Amino acid sequence: MSTLRIAMPKGRLMESALAEFERAGISEKAPDIGRKLVIPLKNGSGSKLELLLVKNADVPTYVEHGVAEFGVCGTDVLDEADCDVMRPWTFAFGRCRIAIAGRPEVDMSRWSAGDTLLVASKYPRITRRHFSDRGWNAEVIKLNGSVELAAVLGLSDVIVDLVESGRTLKENGLVVHEVLGETRVKLIATRGLTRAQNDVLAWMVDELSAADRDKS
Amino acid sequence: MNSTTAVSPPLSARVPRRRRFIEMALAGLDAAGFREIDVPLLAPFEEIRSAVDESVARELFRFAGRSGEVLVLRGDVTPVVAWQYARHLSERPLPLRLSYAARVARVRQEFARYRIESHELGAELIGAQGLDADVEILSAAVETLDGVGAQGVECVIGHVGLSASVIDEVSKSNGTLRRQLDTAIAAKDRNEAVEMARANGASAETIRRIKLLTLVRPKRADLAALAEGAPRELADAVLRLQQIIDAFANRGWEDRFQLDLSRRNERGYYSGVVFSLTSPASQRALGGGGRYDRLIGRFGVSQPAIGFGLRVETILDAIDGEGGR
């Protein structure tokens, strides 16, 4: 069997995921990353595994296209990408709320079907789907970061964004108006795995599951 | 035209090679009794639309014809063959074995990476119900790939009836919940599916079944466990899969299939066994198929049927060592 690849987002998510892999015995120890983008992952599966270090938003693309068999990704990114991949494991770390936020004086109860809201977000697909399910018209302004500014400076009526502690909102004079849901971090896998590749996936899920049981 | 829409460069060696490949595959199907039909390039949108789900209709290129009628370009071949059968072939003796090779264009072509155009070949067995017909088509798909030189072909087998009763029980008439639970089970997202079921008052028995449906690598014993105390539809689906596994074992194909208990009805018209075909030489599925007993009836003539379609470019890439592995 050829080397299997795990698409991994660079940054905090990678650190937490690698720590989980190590605790579960999937990798022997956290590898030396440096500036390399492809890193062998010593493991106990009997198969060759390597990490592909990619941008968070690109993880679903690499996995859906089968360039990487597996990946680690948040459901915010997965739902926004609307990709067709398997999500067989949910990590305990990385839980986060996704919420509508804005200035305190914004009264969402005044809006009703037919009104058009200006909503800034990094997640236009999730945002459109939410407001459409409600029967509201939302004109979504796509931003790539510092989304809070849109509400502060009046670019939008509200924003839809991830809220971890709420500190950034508070420091910018904004409040959560409504929590839409919770995002989780998933181990994802491409469709069309062969039996041997699927065995490796099952091994990873079993090991993570066993490590979770030991922990609790 | 965007270069990503082209099937291959116009003077590529792939062109004659693809033609030979298609001829070889069709000859194999002909020897098994499947007669080649001509699948029309254009079909009336209203008729096709009335028979397929929104997910299939969305993938079809459509435009206005000379009289203002809306036409679709050949995209998903199976509904067009079903339409042709109902219009032109319904007087033929049954079962009817048909094969085809056609260039197709899909707005979203999931199996051919970015290609909008691709070549598809396949077979349909119309007017045959039961285990023998299912095994005949599954075997024909695998043997066609073996016959053209694809290496290590495996069949991933599921049944759309496995998750249906669980989804019905949990979602009742809540369409959004139905869609979300269907998506979670199909993604083998046990955590999300179980959370959703618990939040909606599902029984312990239903939770147990969801855990089985979302197994990454289910075994035959898991299939049997799924049938314990199950409603009729689910028990029938389990029995059919067990029979197919036995048939594969009788052929010495124990190592050539995987069970997938989470398979959904992704084309909207499947009604029984569904399958996809994989190879270690390809990052993408080489093709797939399934039983569609209610599709032809939507065109006015009820007939059970099962078929498969193969993605020619993906298979050639795998054979040529260009499948990304």
What's the confidence (pLDDT) of residue B323?
67
CA dihedral A64, A65, A71, A75 (to 10 degrees): -30
Average pLDDT over residues B44-60: 86
Flag whether residue B180 sits within 8 Å of chain A, measured between CB atoms: no
What's the confidence (pLDDT) of residue B1?
40
| φ, ψ at B83 (rounded to 5°) | -65, -45
Residue B2's pLDDT band, with cuts at 50, 70 and 90, is very low
CB contact burial B51-66 (16+ within 10 A = b; e otherwise)? bbeeebbebbeeeeee
Strand partners, A188: A71
- Percent of chain B topping pLDDT 90: 77
| Sign of the C-alpha dihedral computed for residues B244, B249, B252 and B257 taken in this order | positive
Mean pLDDT lowest among A81-90, B91-100, B108-117, B147-156: B108-117
CA of residue B56 relative to chain centroid, distance? 12
Average pLDDT over residues B77-86: 95
Average pLDDT over residues A174-187: 95
Residue B111's pLDDT band, with cuts at 50, 70 and 90, is very low
Cβ-Cβ contacts under 8 Å, B255 against chain A: 195
pLDDT beyond 50 at A213:
yes
Structure-block tokens of residue B295: 């599709």
What confidence tens digit (pLDDT) does each residue in A84-114 have?
Answer: 899 999 999 999 999 999 999 988 877 776 6
Residue whose structure tokens are 């059970």: B304
Residue whose structure tokens are 């082209």: B6
Mean pLDDT lowest among A30-34, B225-229, B290-294: A30-34
pLDDT beyond 90 at A214:
no
Mean pLDDT lowest among A32-46, B199-213, B274-288: A32-46
Strand partners, B257: B155
More confident call, B152 vs A30? B152
What's the confidence (pLDDT) of residue B6?
56
Q: Which residues of A touch B (CB under 8 A)?
A: 1-2, 65-67, 84-90, 133, 184, 186, 190-199, 201-202, 205
What's the confidence (pLDDT) of residue B148?
94
Q: How far does chain B reach from its first CA to its final CA, in angstroms?
A: 30
What confidence tens digit (pLDDT) does each residue in B235-272 have?
Answer: 999 999 999 999 999 999 999 999 999 998 888 899 99
**Angle at B184 (CA atoms; ends A203, A207), nearest 5 degrees:** 15
By residue count, chain A amounts to 216
Helix axes B190-199, B175-186, angle to 10 degrees: 150
Residue B33's pLDDT band, with cuts at 50, 70 and 90, is very high
What's the confidence (pLDDT) of residue B112?
41
Strand ranges in B137-207 using DSSP code E only, listed in sequence order: 154-159
pLDDT beyond 90 at B55:
no
CA B275 to chain A, closest CA, distance in angstroms equals: 11
Residue pairs spanning A and B at CB distance below 8 A: 67
Residue B269, helix vs strand vs coil: coil
What's the confidence (pLDDT) of residue B108?
66
Residue whose structure tokens are 């509508």: A100
| φ, ψ at B195 (rounded to 5°) | -60, -45
| Sign of the C-alpha dihedral computed for residues A176, A182, A188 and A191 taken in this order | negative
Using alpha carbons, list the distances in angstroms from residue B109 to A99, A141, B76. 34, 29, 10
Average pLDDT over residues B189-211: 96
Question: Do the chains contact at A90 and B189, CB–CB below 8 Å?
Answer: yes
By residue count, chain B amounts to 325
Average pLDDT, chain B: 91
Q: Are B240 and B134 in contact (CB under 8 A)?
A: yes
Give the integer Cα–Cα distance in Å for B81 and B50: 15
pLDDT beyond 50 at B175:
yes
pLDDT beyond 70 at B325:
no
Across chain A, which distance is largest between two alpha carbons, in Å?
60
Q: Are A3 and A48 in contact (CB under 8 A)?
A: yes
Mean pLDDT lowest among A85-94, B47-56, B163-172, B294-303: B47-56
Which residue in chain B has the smallest CA separation from A90? B191
Residue A155's pLDDT band, with cuts at 50, 70 and 90, is very high
Mean pLDDT lowest among A4-18, A36-50, A54-68, A177-191: A36-50
Q: Are B323 and B284 in contact (CB under 8 A)?
A: yes
Give the integer Cα–Cα distance in Å for B264 and A122: 30
What's the confidence (pLDDT) of residue A43?
76
Q: Which of B174, B217, B219, B282 to mutate to test the interface with A (most CBs of A within 10 A)?
A: B217
Q: Are A118 and A156 in contact (CB under 8 A)?
A: yes
Residue whose structure tokens are 């200035």: A103
pLDDT beyond 80 at A216:
no
Average pLDDT over residues B45-67: 87
CATH 3.30.930.10 in chain B: give the residue spans.
8-153+281-319
pLDDT beyond 60 at A124:
yes
CA dihedral B22, B267, B322, B153 (to 10 degrees): -70
Q: Which of A45, A87, A180, A212 to mutate to test the interface with B (most CBs of B within 10 A)?
A: A87
Q: How far does chain A reach from its first CA to its final CA, in angstroms?
A: 35
Give the integer Cα–Cα distance in Å for B241 and B272: 10
Residue B148, helix vs strand vs coil: coil
Amino acid in position B227? A
Class of domain B8-153+281-319: alpha beta
CB atoms within 10 A of CB B256: 15
What's the confidence (pLDDT) of residue A37?
87
pLDDT beyond 80 at A35:
no
Flag whether residue B276 sits within 8 Å of chain A, measured between CB atoms: yes
Which residue in chain A has the smallest CA separation from B288? A192
Structure-block tokens of residue B229: 């105390």
Q: Are A184 and A77 in contact (CB under 8 A)?
A: no
Flag whether residue B216 sits within 8 Å of chain A, measured between CB atoms: yes
Domains along chain A? 4-94+184-215 (3.40.190.10), 96-182 (3.40.190.10)
Q: Are B281 and B78 in contact (CB under 8 A)?
A: no
pLDDT beyond 90 at B89:
yes
Average pLDDT over residues B197-213: 96
Residue-wise DSSP of A124-193 = HHHHHHHHHHHT-EEEEEE-SS-THHHHHTTSSSEEEEEESSSHHHHHTT-EEEEEEEEE-EEEEE-SS-
Q: Are A121 and A160 in contact (CB under 8 A)?
A: yes
Mean pLDDT lowest among B5-9, B63-67, B78-82, B215-219: B5-9
Question: Do the chains contact at A88 and B255, CB–CB below 8 Å?
Answer: no
More confident call, A192 vs B295? B295
Using alpha carbons, list the distances in angstroms from residue A210 to A206, B22, B99, B193, B222. 6, 48, 49, 20, 20
